[in-house]
């Protein structure tokens, strides 16, 4: 069998696997991300070894395309009118829990002996949640009420704040590992973050202007995808933050385009096959030996992140003077963690391979656990708040 036919065959099988995971997830209420990660793990070299090793060559390409679209979609979270409507409670809780989770994960892991680099990196990944899984759950159970509304607002912003924090920490850890001086590290961090923002703005302004020019209210799919991939490619060439640049691109389009929702719907539509393959391959990359070697760190991470989410919700609720129902319940609803966290771990593998090979198994294993127990905890709190349809 030649390479082209093998490529087409495996791509087709992976896409059908993604469809099957979606269908099974709807019936069993197990998140699709969890199912795809598990299927990839089972099919991978550490278990059944069903797929040719050459599939690993595709992973960086698929991952970069998927994450470019994820970053762009997260940029819509910074739509000005939505931010104003969510108010101080959502902003307060989303920022507070991001900082509290990161701080607590770092302290607990560092005290546990994980080392400063691993502790920092997992602290940067920990705030990320699973907005898609949470929104699906709320819609499926027809939840309504103040806790539900606050939760939807927080998960919309959570990953965006998380990407900003992760980008800063990744640059810091790179400086520590590579032995950069404080001045060089500051200059590199400034360029990677400010350069990413500048790139997103430079491409975002013409993208927003083009939206609706060909046919009112409807940009072409070619236009939307073209700008997103050009932004991601230039970010890699210029050595600026990949996720941050595409997120700024999305934020600019959301705030400047008159018909801004259509580009996001287009990108969300074409991202599905890439994300399905991305999650499967992430599970395929999982290494059981590496996980067992650092199992104690995984347990500490799961514990610290869970406590941090609950405590962060409490702190954010108190600061923003939210009702007690929201203050006590919202943190429990933020336990799920999915694709963005896995994507962050894969960026660590790409930028810092020696560190990433330890980070990736922890994040994949914890993601599976969080995606199983997280929705249960969310339903518990929504039911406790009386916001589920009977």
What is the DSSP code string of 112-174? TT--HHHHHHHHHHTT---HHHHHHHHHHHT--SHHHHHHHHHHHHHHHHHHHHHHHHHHHHH
At residue 258, the pLDDT reads: 65
Lowest average pLDDT, out of 116-120, 236-240, 264-268, 343-347, goes to 264-268
SS3 229: helix
Mean pLDDT estimate for the chain: 82
Given a contact cutoff of 8 angstroms between Cβ atoms, the answer to whether 245 and 233 are in contact is no
pLDDT score for 134: 78
**Is residue 390 scored above 60 in pLDDT?**
no
90-110: average pLDDT:
93
pLDDT at 217 over 60: no
Mean pLDDT on 245-249: 89
Domain 3-384 fold is Na+/H+ antiporter like fold (1.20.1530)
Element (H, E) at 291: helix 288-293
| Cα–Cα distance for residue pair 159/128, rounded to 1 Å | 5
Listed ranges 219-223, 327-331, 370-374; the one with the highest mean pLDDT: 327-331
Q: pLDDT at position 1, please?
A: 56
pLDDT at 216: 56
Structure-token pair, residue 146: 């103040």
- Tokens at 260, concatenated: 């801004």
- Phi, psi (deg, nearest 5) at residue 215: -140, 125
This model's pTM is above 0.75: yes
Measure the CA–CA gap between 375 and 303, rounded to whole angstroms.
17
**And the tokens for 87?**
């108010």
In this predicted structure, what is the pLDDT of residue 60?
Answer: 76
Specify the DSSP class assigned to residue 109.
H
Name the percent of the chain in helix, strand, coil, to the closest 5: 80, 0, 20
Per-residue pLDDT tens over the stretch 109-164: 999 988 899 999 999 999 988 776 777 677 667 788 888 888 888 887 787 888 88
Residue 108 pLDDT level (bands cut at 50, 70, 90): very high
Contact 37, 25 (CB under 8 A): no
More confident residue, 272 or 26: 272
């Amino acid at each position: 069998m030649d390479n082209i036919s093998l490529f087409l065959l495996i791509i087709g099988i992976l896409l059908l696997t993604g469809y099957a995971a979606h269908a099974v997830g709807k019936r069993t209420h197990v998140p699709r991300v969890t199912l795809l990660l598990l299927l990839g793990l089972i099919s991978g070299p550490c278990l059944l070894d069903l797929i040719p090793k050459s599939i690993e060559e595709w992973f960086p390409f698929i991952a970069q395309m998927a994450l470019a679209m994820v970053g762009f979609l997260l940029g819509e979270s910074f739509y000005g009118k939505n931010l104003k409507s969510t108010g101080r409670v959502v902003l307060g809780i989303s920022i507070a829990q991001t900082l509290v989770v990161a701080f607590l994960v770092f302290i607990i892991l560092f005290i546990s002996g994980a080392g400063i680099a691993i502790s920092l990196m997992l602290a940067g990944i920990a705030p990320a949640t699973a907005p898609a899984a949470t929104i699906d759950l709320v819609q499926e159970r027809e939840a309504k009420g103040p806790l539900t509304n606050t939760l939807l607002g927080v998960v919309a912003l959570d990953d965006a704040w998380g990407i900003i924090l992760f980008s800063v920490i990744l640059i810091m850890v790179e400086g520590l590992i590579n032995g950069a001086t404080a001045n060089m590290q500051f200059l590199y961090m400034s360029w990677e973050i400010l350069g990413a923002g500048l790139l997103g703005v430079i491409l975002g302004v013409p993208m927003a202007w083009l939206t609706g020019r060909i046919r009112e209210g409807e940009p072409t799919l070619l236009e939307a995808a073209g700008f997103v991939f050009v932004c991601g490619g230039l970010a890699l060439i210029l050595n600026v933050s990949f996720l941050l640049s595409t997120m700024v691109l999305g934020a600019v389009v959301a705030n400047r385009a008159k018909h801004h929702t259509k580009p996001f719907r287009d990108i969300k539509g074409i991202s599905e096959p890439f994300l399905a393959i991305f999650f499967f391959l992430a599970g395929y990359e999982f290494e059981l030996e590496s996980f067992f070697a650092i199992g104690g760190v995984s347990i500490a991470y799961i514990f610290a992140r869970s406590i941090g989410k609950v405590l962060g919700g409490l702190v954010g609720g108190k600061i923003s003077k939210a009702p007690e129902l929201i203050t006590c319940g919202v943190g429990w609803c933020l336990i799920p963690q999915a694709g963005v966290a896995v994507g962050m771990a894969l960026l660590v593998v790409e930028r810092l391979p020696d560190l990433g090979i330890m980070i990736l198994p922890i994040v994949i294993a914890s993601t599976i656990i969080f995606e199983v127990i997280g929705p249960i905890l969310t339903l518990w709190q929504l039911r406790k708040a009386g916001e589920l349809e009977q």
